[in-house]
Structure 1
């Protein structure tokens, strides 16, 4: 598949959207970069600056838990300042219009909810960094609770209910994917007529399988990403341009 120019891509995407009855977007970190939140893999991304802390290391090491929380609070101003970008707002417009029943996302920044999606219609494959959860009993905590306990000694807190470690409500490397969310994502992928992958490198499996699943079920597949992906060959339309510029024309107040 040869990538379309920006204008021809926007025009063709508009035709696909007009013709579609059920659209399922699948979003990755690229949709949030214009809001000031860095992605993970590109030069200057989060993983080029800090090695990811695997789940088993978080569980086994207090030092790893402390470092994990130091990194999270170092990013607090960035996450707090971020507002939905043009891509988020365009998808929210299609959601309000009844074209999108729910959205699948690899993102952890809560920006789809902030753009207007109901929380129950945001399928978060990798969790959410705007609150915390006990890895034992699952008790949820707001970040303010964590921060008041972390700051005095720079020590990651334990659950007040069961004593197990508390971590951001995200899915770390080596941690089991959320079964309910994966099942819902699979069902949506198989029952849409337009699947739009936006800002994802499509290399993290099993989540990267959803675009192909949708294509095999008969949906049109659109991929919007600055860099090529291994799924481009399956796509009906590939747009390798800025996501905000590409989706901006679809923002409706």
Structure 2
């Protein structure tokens, strides 16, 4: 870490992207609540072992339209926070790439769970654009193989049953321990190891702010809990932080 305090760390979860038309997973109306079987489509074991799971997973990606989603006011607020001159790092559990699309500096965004905007081959490890793979699905390939070696293609995300990238996790851990303010936005704070990040921050003396529609396990440790809709609450919070210089 080169910056000295006050550093602002922002952990974002699915809730920040719901206003962009991307459903969350664990909320009352989340994807897992509506279709519990959908979870196996993003679980590494069934995905690699069962061609039918892969075919259904590709159809889910095709129909979700996540690549066409646009950043919303919540994403743009964090861009504004960065452009105010305050040191900011975004630690996101999301794989939609909307922080970068909104204008957040890419090197200041840590994608804890990878990105759904790219695919990789499980055999030769070649990486390519998700958009191209989805075009192949639309053209009639139900389970498009790697063009190079014929291996299984998968999204370049961390699927259930896989560990997070240790390098990314180490960077996120360092940021959480170095920050002055830690903001958790649209995340249940129930999924580890990402949920350990606010604990690290509070333990090292940071001020914790939670912006989330539902209660989280860290609410009692927070100096402020905001239950308002993220697309209005986050811009208002950013304006306060900038005005007060944190």
How does the TM-score come out when normalised to structure 2?
0.87
Structure 1 residues not aligned, in runs of 5+: 1-19
Contact 1:28 1:107 in 2 (8 A): yes
Q: Which has the higher mean CA deviation after the structures are superposed, 146-155 or 205-214?
A: 146-155
Structure 1 residue 42 corresponds to structure 2 residue 31: no
Q: Distance in 1 between matches of 2:115 and 2:179?
A: 25
Q: Distance in 1 between matches of 2:178 and 2:152?
A: 39
- 1:169-199 deviation per Cα after TM superposition (whole angstroms, max 9, x unaligned): 1111101211111111001001110000001
Contact 1:37 1:79 in 2 (8 A): no
| Secondary structure of the corresponding residue to residue 205 of structure 1 | coil
The equivalent residue for 1:72 is 61
| Secondary structure of the corresponding residue to residue 167 of structure 1 | strand
CA offset at residue 148 of structure 1? 4.0
- Once the two structures are superposed, the pairs formed by residues 72-221 of structure 1 within 5 Å of their partners are 72-76=61-65, 78-80=66-68, 82-221=69-208
Contact 1:70 1:154 in 2 (8 A): no
Q: Distance in 2 between matches of 1:122 and 1:221?
A: 19
How does the TM-score come out when normalised to structure 1?
0.85
How many correspondences in the alignment? Answer: 231
CA offset at residue 44 of structure 1? 3.1
- 1:23-60 deviation per Cα after TM superposition (whole angstroms, max 9, x unaligned): 00000011111122111122332222332121111111
| Secondary structure of the corresponding residue to residue 195 of structure 2 | helix
Structure with the bigger RCO (C-alpha within 8 Å, sep 6+) is 1
Structure 1 residue 56 corresponds to structure 2 residue 45: yes
Q: Distance in 2 between matches of 1:48 and 1:208?
A: 21
Match of 1:230 among 207, 212, 217: 217
Q: Distance in 2 between matches of 1:147 and 1:84?
A: 21
Q: Distance in 2 between matches of 1:193 and 1:218?
A: 7
> Kindly tell me: are residues 234 and 136 of structure 1, through their superposed partners in 2, closer, same or farther at Cα, counting changes over 3 Å?
farther
Structure 2 residues not aligned, in runs of 5+: none
CA offset at residue 153 of structure 1? 4.2
Q: Which has the higher mean CA deviation after the structures are superposed, 136-145 or 62-71?
A: 136-145
> Kindly tell me: are residues 136 and 88 of structure 1, through their superposed partners in 2, closer, same or farther at Cα, counting changes over 3 Å?
same
CA offset at residue 109 of structure 1? 1.1
| Secondary structure of the corresponding residue to residue 110 of structure 2 | strand
> Kindly tell me: are residues 160 and 154 of structure 1, through their superposed partners in 2, closer, same or farther at Cα, counting changes over 3 Å?
closer
